Amino acid sequence: MEIIQIPVAPIGANCYIVSEGKEAFIIDPGGDAGKIIRAAKNFGVRYILLTHTHFDHIGGLNDVKNAFPEAKTAVHNLEKEWLYSAGLNFSEDFGFSFIYEKEIDIELKDGMKLDFAGTEINVLHTPGHTPGSTCFYIKKSETCGSPVLFSGDTLFRHSIGRTDFPGGSGRKIIESIKNKLLVLPDNTVVYPGHDETTSIALEKKLNPFL
Ligand SMILES: [Zn+2]
Ligand SMILES: [Zn+2]
């Protein structure tokens, strides 16, 4: 499994392109759609997965979906309507008005599994940063020794997501991290929505919020 990390405008959120052989999926096309499309253009893109719907994680979604119309857009059902409200997804506050132009293909729920290249992507609902925050976990793949987790704005390297936005909850984010993420294998590599990668073992040891 190959993972390309692309920090995207406007505020440097991490977009990921995850591929196995010829298949790929994209996580959080937050902006700079041209860069994302160029990096993914040689793959069959199966999914566009959203960890949540803040503007910095969805700003390039319309262009990326248009470039890969066969890719299924997936978002937690609690945040579905945020894609259609520039107020709820905060794009309005940042001077551009983002509204998703298409229908959602997959409404995510905790415990769902999405088929991908002979393995599966596990859907973990981790509310706290936002009500529908979702992490994606892959136990193994043909070409990847360690499990991988895409943690959105829930868990960062030695930090956690903000909970002072509407719909945020400081109690829920800690519960989500402890009950859903810290129970994953220690060698799980964590790819967060901002900043650098980390691992479950490192966060158990060094995260001052946990
Ligand atoms: Zn966020
Ligand atoms: Zn963010």
Domain boundary assignment for the chain:
2-206
Confidence of residue 22 (pLDDT cuts 50, 70, 90): very high
142 CA distance to ligand 2 middle (Å): 30
Confidence of residue 181 (pLDDT cuts 50, 70, 90): very high
Which residues contact residue 68 at a Cβ distance below 8 angstroms, ignoring those fewer than 6 apart?
Answer: 26, 37, 40, 45, 48
CATH fit for domain 2-206, picks 3.60.15.10, 2.60.120.260, 3.90.105.10, 2.60.40.650: 3.60.15.10
User: Strand order of the sheet with strand 134-138?
Assistant: 113-116, 119-125, 134-138, 148-152, 189-192, 198-199
Give yes or no for a contact between 47 and 76, defined as CB atoms under 8 angstroms apart. Answer: no
Cα–Cα distance measured from residue 80 to residue 107, given in angstroms and rounded to the nearest whole number: 8
Q: What is the pLDDT of residue 92?
A: 93
The predicted model gives 156-164 an average pLDDT of 98
Confidence of residue 200 (pLDDT cuts 50, 70, 90): very high
193 CA distance to ligand 1 middle (Å): 8
Q: Kind of pairing, strands 155-156 and 72-76?
A: unpaired
Q: Is residue 145 predicted with pLDDT exceeding 90?
A: no
118 CA distance to ligand 1 middle (Å): 30
Tell if the pTM clears 0.75, that is, is over it.
yes
156 CA distance to ligand 2 middle (Å): 11
Give yes or no for a contact between 135 and 154, defined as CB atoms under 8 angstroms apart. Answer: yes
Q: What is the pLDDT of residue 208?
A: 96
103 CA distance to ligand 2 middle (Å): 23
Ligand nearest to the CA of 12: 2
In 3D space, the residue among 155, 168, 162, 163 whose CA is nearest the CA of residue 196 turns out to be 155
Q: What is the pLDDT of residue 10?
A: 86
Ligand nearest to the CA of 193: 2
Q: Is residue 172 predicted with pLDDT exceeding 90?
A: yes
Cα–Cα distance measured from residue 131 to residue 194, given in angstroms and rounded to the nearest whole number: 19
- CA pseudo-torsion sign 113, 190, 127, 96: negative
140 CA distance to ligand 2 middle (Å): 26
194 CA distance to ligand 2 middle (Å): 6
142 CA distance to ligand 1 middle (Å): 31
Cα–Cα distance measured from residue 19 to residue 5, given in angstroms and rounded to the nearest whole number: 12
64 CA distance to ligand 2 middle (Å): 18
153 CA distance to ligand 1 middle (Å): 5
In 3D space, the residue among 115, 111, 116, 114 whose CA is nearest the CA of residue 126 turns out to be 111
Please tell me whether residue 134 adopts helix, strand or coil conformation: strand
Digit-coded pLDDT (tens) for 31-65: 999 999 999 999 999 999 999 999 999 999 999 99
143 CA distance to ligand 1 middle (Å): 30
How far the first Cα of the chain sits from its last, in Å, is: 30
Cα–Cα distance measured from residue 12 to residue 7, given in angstroms and rounded to the nearest whole number: 5
